[in-house]
């Protein structure tokens, strides 16, 4: 069963009525509950406008999880960036690593050679995967018991 890595980004559609942090918590709770038994790992980045996500695991399972996620009304305009076999997991440490801290996103975005506001449409697949990995890794060391920060 080949190991597969899927990469996409989408537009955030969570209503801006104060429910964002709650919805993010629900998404992460579902991710942990469902991804662990299916041996799916990955990383999820949220900023005000976008979700960026990597899913890794068995090809059939990753496909199934992605199909479920695709139908979720909390986002739309999904752009599938890549889905291909991978030699090893990059996100093996996380059922679903998460990052949303505005300062970290701003800091890493400023190091990428693109102009303007944070916009995943301007990035290559490799840049997106690297950005998600670095954000999730940095965020882990940022603060363990903070509220969700929204970029």
The contact set with ligand FMN (CB under 6 A) reads 27, 30-31, 33-35, 42, 44, 51, 53, 65, 68-69, 72, 74-75, 96
What's the rounded Cα separation, in Å, for the pair 61 and 51? 21
Q: At which residue do the structure tokens 């496909």 appear?
A: 63
Give 120's DSSP letter.
Answer: G
What's the rounded Cα separation, in Å, for the pair 12 and 87? 31
Of 31 and 113, which CB lies nearer to ligand FMN in the complex structure?
31
What minimum distance in Å lies between the beta carbon of 2 and ligand FMN?
19
Of 9 and 116, which CB lies nearer to ligand FMN in the complex structure?
9
What minimum distance in Å lies between the beta carbon of 35 and ligand FMN?
5
Of 27 and 105, which CB lies nearer to ligand FMN in the complex structure?
27
What minimum distance in Å lies between the beta carbon of 5 and ligand FMN?
13
Angle (deg, nearest 10), helices 102-111 and 125-140: 140
Q: Which token pair is 73?
A: 């009304």
């Amino acid at each position: 069963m080949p190991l597969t890595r899927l990469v996409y980004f989408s537009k955030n559609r969570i209503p801006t009525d104060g429910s964002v942090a709650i919805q993010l918590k629900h998404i992460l709770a579902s991710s942990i509950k469902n991804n662990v038994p299916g041996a799916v790992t990955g990383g999820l980045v949220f900023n005000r406008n976008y979700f960026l996500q990597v899913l890794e695991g068995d090809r059939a399972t990753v496909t199934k999880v992605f199909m479920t996620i695709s139908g979720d009304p909390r986002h739309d305009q999904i752009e599938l960036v890549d889905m291909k076999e991978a030699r090893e997991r990059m996100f093996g440490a996380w059922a679903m690593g998460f990052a949303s801290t505005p300062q970290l996103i701003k800091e890493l975005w400023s190091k990428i050679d693109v102009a303007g506001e944070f916009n995943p449409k301007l990035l290559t697949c490799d840049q997106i995967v690297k950005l998600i990995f670095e954000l999730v890794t940095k965020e882990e060391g940022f603060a363990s018991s903070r509220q969700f920060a929204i970029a």
